[in-house]
Structures are given as structure tokens and as C-alpha cells.
Structure 1
Amino acid sequence: MAKNTSSSAFRKIDIDQYNEDNFKEDEAEQAMPAGPDEGEVCALLNQGKYNEALKTVLDNAPLGSPNQQVKDNALTLTLKVLLTIKSAQIEDAVANLSQDDIDILMKYIYRGFEYPSEGSSGHLLLWHEKVYNVGGTGSIVRVLSDRMRV
């Protein structure tokens, strides 16, 4: 026979904390990057140091920044660098990048496809081909599944 108890200890558990709608991802306590310095990147482009300009833009990408304006400015600057580099120099530029930089570059390429300008889509397709040759399918999967947007 069931025994009637007056214990209500089980009622002290807050089950609402496990509701998926209430889930909040842990905030990173680190300082968010403000994006690449436009003056520095433009100076490198004017000096013809395209690979260094690309590396600077990718190293200072505002990944996960809550400020959309910073992300848009970084996208504009990155597309400027990508469109400045000639087709014959793309392979050299991609060969000097680390795996993390390749993934960030692929994020910018896909973001550039979202906002095409005149002549940019064809050039971005060239970049995509060269980056895919180095990064492979894994790079595309990492970019599409990553929550940290540029």
C-alpha cells in the first residue's frame, strides 16, 4: 500500500531552468575586438603588401561582436582587400594563411556573396575555389556550423 508522506522536498527543484526557451549561452568575458584598423590596412594596400593586409584583416576579425556596424565595416574593408588582390596572386595569398585564417576568410567570402557588388561575385568565386582547394570541405562545414559570425 502507498504511504502518504508530507515531504515536499521534490517540489523545491526549479524545472523551468531546464526549459530550452530559457537557455542563455555563456557570455565570453573577454574583450570583443573592434575590427581591423582601416588606416593600417589601406597603408599596406598602398604599399603593395597585399598578403600582409589580408593577414591583418583576418587576424582582427570581429568574431562574435554584438555590434553589427563593426562587422559591416570589417566586411567592407575585407572585400576591399580581396578585390584588390589580382587573380594570379590569390593562390600565393591563400598559401600563407593558417587553418583558422582560412576559415575566417571563407566566412567573409560567404558574407560577400550575401551583398554582391558589380564584379565582386566572380572574383569571390575565384577566392572560394582557391580557399576550398586548401581548406577542403571541412572548412565549409566549420563555417556553416559556427555560431561566431563575421
Structure 2
Amino acid sequence: MAKNTLSSRFRKVDIDEFDENKFVDDHDEAADQLGPDAAEIDNLIRQGDMMSALHIALRNPPINSKNPALTERAQTVVLRVLASFRSSDIESAVKSLDKNGVDLLMKYIYKGFERPTENSSAILLQWHEKAFAIGGLGSIVRVLTARKTV
């Protein structure tokens, strides 16, 4: 046996650096991830400006937040906005979102399915149908395989 085979000095590349499953915390919870502003959204819902309420509710999600109260509050606000829409307006609301917006909406829909409240499942199923029609199967796969959750 050769003398060099017992040495590990030949290994100069750290292969663990290229492992896709290695966890690296990209950043701490930023101050801009405070979730949607509930007062502003309630005001828009009372005025009947549902499209703006939806866009504002999806604008500042608490992604990968370690604060469960923050994520619960954001989920409640988004579900309140989704429940305020009429069934005939859901399709146009989903069409007004870009690809990332549809994916974020799907994340909130699936999060809502995890803890249903009174009549929320029926509302979420309507939104899921329209979001699936716009985002396709790729949107569902991206949501179910995403590491960054809401």
C-alpha cells in the first residue's frame, strides 16, 4: 500500500459546501417582515376596495418567521380578505397577481387548510380552484416543496 493513501492533505475541496441540503440561515428576521397592516386592510374592506386589500395583504408576508403570533396574525388577515370577496370577483383578483403572488396566495390557502375555521374551507376551495387555473400544477408543486413558509 502506498504511503500517500493514508494522508488526507490531498483533499482541498470542501464537498459539504456544495450540498444542497445543508442549512444556511440566509438572514435573520428582518424588520420589513412585520406582516400585513390589519388596520389598513380593514379600512379598505369597509370601503369595498377588495383588490387593493388583497394586494396589500400579500405584499409583506412574514416568511420563515420564528414568531408564531406574527404568522398567525398574517394568516388571519389574509383569510379575512379572502372571505370578503364575492365569488364572481375571485377570478379577476387572482388574474391581477403575478406568478409569485399566485404562489404566495397558494401558500396562504394551504396554510388555511391546516387549521380550518367556520366556513373557511369552502372559501379556500373556491380560491384554490381559481389559483390553480391561473398558476397551474407548478404553483402547487412550488408551494408544497418550498422551504420558505408563511
Instruction: State the TM-score, normalizing by the size of structure 2.
Output: 0.84
> Shift in Å at residue 36 of structure 1?
0.5
RMSD value over aligned CA atoms?
Answer: 2.7
Kindly provide the CA deviation profile for residues 59-89 of structure 1, in whole angstroms up to 9, marking residues without a partner as x: 1111122222111100000000001111111
**Residue 126 of structure 2 aligns to which amino acid in structure 1?**
L
Match of 1:78 in 2: 78
Identity %, equivalent residues: 41
Instruction: State the TM-score, normalizing by the size of structure 1.
Output: 0.84
Match of 1:146 in 2: 146
> Shift in Å at residue 28 of structure 1?
2.0
Match of 1:24 in 2: 23
Match of 2:119 in 1: 119
> Shift in Å at residue 27 of structure 1?
2.4
2:50 touches 2:81 (CA, 8 Å); kept in 1?
Answer: yes
**Residue 108 of structure 1 aligns to which amino acid in structure 2?**
Y
Distance 2:2 2:72 in 1: 65
Q: Which contiguous aligned blocks of 4+ residues in structure 1 show a shift greater than 6 angstroms?
A: none
Describe the shift of the 1:111–1:3 C-alpha distance in structure 2 as closer, same or farther (beyond 3 A). closer
Distance 2:139 2:149 in 1: 14
Q: SS of the counterpart of 2:9?
A: helix
**Residue 89 of structure 2 aligns to which amino acid in structure 1?**
Q
Alignment coverage as a number of residue pairs:
145
Question: Which residues of 2 match residues 54-69 of structure 1 at below 5 A?
Answer: 54-69=54-69
> Shift in Å at residue 30 of structure 1?
7.3
Gaps of 5+ in 1: none
Gaps of 5+ in 2: none
